[in-house]
Amino acid sequence: MDIGSVVENVAVELLRQAVTKLPRDVKEALQRAHREEESDVGKTQLEAILNNVELAEKTDTPMCQDTGVIIFYVKAGAQAKGLDKIEESLRNATKRATIKVPLRPNSVGIFTRKNTGDNTGRYVPYINWEIVPGENIELTAFPKGGGSENVCALGMIRPGEGLNGLKKFVVDTVLNAGAKPCPPNILGVGVGGGADIAMKIAKAALLRPIDQPNPDPEIAKLERELCEAANMTGIGPMGLGGKFTVLGVNVDHANRHPASYPVAVAVQCWAARRASARIHPNGTVEYLTHKVV
Amino acid sequence: MAVHKLKTPISEEEVRKLKVNDVIYVTGTMITARDSAHKRALDFFKEGKEIPIDLQGLAVFHCGPIVRKEDDKWTVVAAGPTTSTRMDLFEDEFIKAFKVRVVIGKGGMGKRTTEGMKKYGAVYGAFTGGAAVLAAKAIKNVRSVEWFDLGMPEALWILDVEDFGPLIVAIDANGNNLFEEVQKKTEETRPRIYEKLGITAE
């Protein structure tokens, strides 16, 4: 069995799943928001989003024309075979999915200013590696849209401000973003580590389903508090006013240098696209977020 | 929240009746235009050259669609709105020159466009960001594509649409701007949120 080609085929399928169908938790959160939104205008936006999501599912079409920059998360079992093939497989999968799904070509060279046309390029697709015990390979496709990416923010706040400083930074980020990131949004908040670590864990926090609070009750409380605070802004769906500016907030943390207090906010649009699968050593595949028809 | 169904060509009188928060659906002819198409159209106008279509009473959509060609026929696959503020540079002149009556996009537009809409009679209809399949469904036919040299997203696509919407009137022809109103209100929430979180402003 050629693990490289299994990975490639699974990754093409994950990209298709991700851009055509929302994960269960996000869809349910949008449905709940639609039921509970009090602003008439806000409600029309959530209704349009839900209609659009239905249509995308039914017609197997990308739910948004911005199919994002392609990011993968790989949990590679230390005993898994063929790990050296994965990077090439994921690049090939990205090229194939660009034609097959289709995905919009979203990879532009910084100095050439040329769009490569196939969603690959330097560091693209980006692969986040994690070595874990065992022999399985777990893959997550995470296409990330540009509109919400443009309002992500990093703050190196003063440690003396502590948690209050963190909360203020998150609220300020939401207020500054306004209508731009296509709300209702999901916020990944990473605190601690260093500048890079904070943003990395902030983005990875977006992989956790929004109906799963942080297992630490203190942090879960902070997540609820930040969520309520963001929704007090009244920005609402698409920035047209309403109760639902965010659907959820996921927080992760790392220990910090005594002199540093990095806070990163990764902003995700309503089209929160992610799809995961586990590949076993014998080549069997379990799809974890989407049912395969 | 009144609902209006508009058919192109739309008269100035018709758009002047629309108010912010109204919902509109557009049937008829719509073009897509982003930064480059706006610029070229205005350059043509200044040089006295004809643009490919008479835009009077039509709708212009800020959109870079994914379009597929099969058997010589174009089909729009996905066509969500792009961020409209980039077109603030051109839109008042564009409305003045070509008399488009409905401008469609996401995220709203600024003061200059708001004034232009008041002066020359047009509204801004906000289409739900990302709702690309919903938009594509209302596009019944690609009549033609012009200025394809600008690239697929930037080209001027001439489309037949049916009940294109829902569009929220976010800028009306009387100088009201819903996005600005919401922004002003949200800014006022800042001290209340700080207070609730126990943050003391320095």
Across chain A, where does the E strand assignment appear? 69-77, 126-132, 137-144, 153-156, 185-193, 246-256, 262-268, 275-279, 285-287
Shared domain check, A152 and A237: yes
Residues 173-232 of A with CB under 8 A from B: 175, 178-180, 182, 225, 229, 232
User: Quick check: is A52 in a domain?
Assistant: no
User: Quick check: is A54 in a domain?
Assistant: no
**Interchain contact, B178 vs A241, CB within 8 Å:** yes
Shared domain check, A105 and A235: no
User: Quick check: is A70 in a domain?
Assistant: yes
In a mutational test of the A interface, the residue from B24, B186, B190 whose CB has the highest number of chain A CBs within 10 Å is B186
Tens of pLDDT along chain A (293 residues) come to 789 999 999 999 999 999 999 999 999 999 999 999 999 999 999 999 999 999 999 999 999 989 999 999 999 999 999 999 999 999 999 999 999 999 988 898 999 988 899 999 999 999 999 999 999 999 999 999 998 999 999 999 999 999 999 999 999 999 999 999 999 999 999 999 999 999 999 999 999 999 999 999 999 999 999 999 999 999 999 999 999 999 999 999 999 999 999 999 999 999 999 999 999 999 999 999 998 76
Shared domain check, A180 and A135: no
Beta bridge partners of B102: B59, B123
User: Quick check: is A44 in a domain?
Assistant: no
The rounded distance, in Å, linking the Cα atoms of A211 and A28 is 9
Shared domain check, A245 and A207: yes
Write down the ipTM of this complex: 0.90
pLDDT digit string, tens, across residues B10-30: 999 999 999 999 999 999 999
Shared domain check, A152 and A116: no
- The answer, as to whether pTM is greater than 0.90, is yes
Total beta-carbon pairs less than 8 A apart between chain A and chain B:
139
pLDDT band, very low/low/confident/very high, at B202 (cuts 50, 70, 90)? low
Q: What does the pLDDT read at residue A114? A: 87
User: Which CATH number goes with the domain that contains A109?
Assistant: 3.30.1330
Q: How many residues does chain B have?
A: 202
**Interchain contact, A65 vs B64, CB within 8 Å:** yes
Domains and CATH numbers, chain B: 3-177 (3.20.130.10)
User: Quick check: is A34 in a domain?
Assistant: no
Closest by Cα among B70, B41, B20 to B155: B41
**DSSP character at residue B106:** B
**Interchain contact, B193 vs A270, CB within 8 Å:** no
Shared domain check, A262 and A206: yes
- Catalogue the active-site residues of B: 38
Shared domain check, A186 and A259: yes
Shared domain check, A263 and A282: no
Residue % of chain B over a pLDDT of 70: 99
Domain that holds residue A256: 147-268
Shared domain check, A125 and A167: no
Q: DSSP string covering B44-56, please?
A: HHHHTPPPSS--T
Task: Give mean pLDDT, residues B80-107.
Answer: 96
**DSSP character at residue A42:** H
Structural domain count of chain A = 2
pLDDT band, very low/low/confident/very high, at B201 (cuts 50, 70, 90)? low
Shared domain check, A13 and A137: yes
pLDDT digit string, tens, across residues A212-222: 999 999 999 99
Which among B106, B129, B134 has the least Cβ separation from residue A51? B134
User: Quick check: is A29 in a domain?
Assistant: no
User: Quick check: is A90 in a domain?
Assistant: yes
User: Quick check: is A292 in a domain?
Assistant: no
pLDDT digit string, tens, across residues B19-62: 999 999 999 999 999 999 999 999 999 999 999 999 999 999 99
